Chains A and B, each alone.
Chain A
Amino acid sequence: GAVVSQHPSRVICKSGTSVKIECRSLDFQATTMFWYRQFPKQSLMLMATSNEGSKATYEQGVEKDKFLINHASLTLSTLTVTSAHPEDSSFYICSAIGDSPDTQYFGPGTRLTVL
């Protein structure tokens, strides 16, 4: 299947700092990318959807000024958690879909811990 990578795989930061997570589609062009957040023992929660070159569409309750999403190319999307706080600690997962393949593939996830 297609490959989606994320970097970093885990990050620990101090409260108040910003953290950037990269999501790349390695062998296909991703017209749409999704960002999910997953708390322990819970399912994936969709945070936002972005199309290349367009502004992201955020789910209700997700602060767009806190979770900045950029989808500048067909192979790269970034999620920046601004002024992170301990309650932002979570597992962040990106997903990508294109025209070929037209199946949604997921990255390995990024574990964020805010101290």
Chain B
Amino acid sequence: NAGVTQTPKFQVLKTGQSMTLQCAQDMNHEYMSWYRQDPGMGLRLIHYSVGAGITDQGEVPNGYNVSRSTTEDFPLRLLSAAPSQTSVYFCASSYERGRGTEAFFGQGTRLTVV
């Protein structure tokens, strides 16, 4: 049981480049989300999804797009990378909708935009 798998682990982008961070879970969780972690800022929610075909914005959605075509996958797209998007990105998933429950996190993607 792999849990939540994120790829890549590290990435360096040039300003203006685009890329997709991959996230996959094998626990049949309905709820998936993307966070960014910056020093002193904690974990801030970028986008989330409550099921295939349903996504919504979190606290800091600008510059990012998501889609959820399957239950397992929830990719995060950076359309035109900016240095302000340098961060560590975490994908998380959880089972129950409508009620708080444990979130399972991936190992993170460390992104540097130069």
Chain A complexes with chain B:
no
Chain B residues near A (Cβ < 8 Å): none
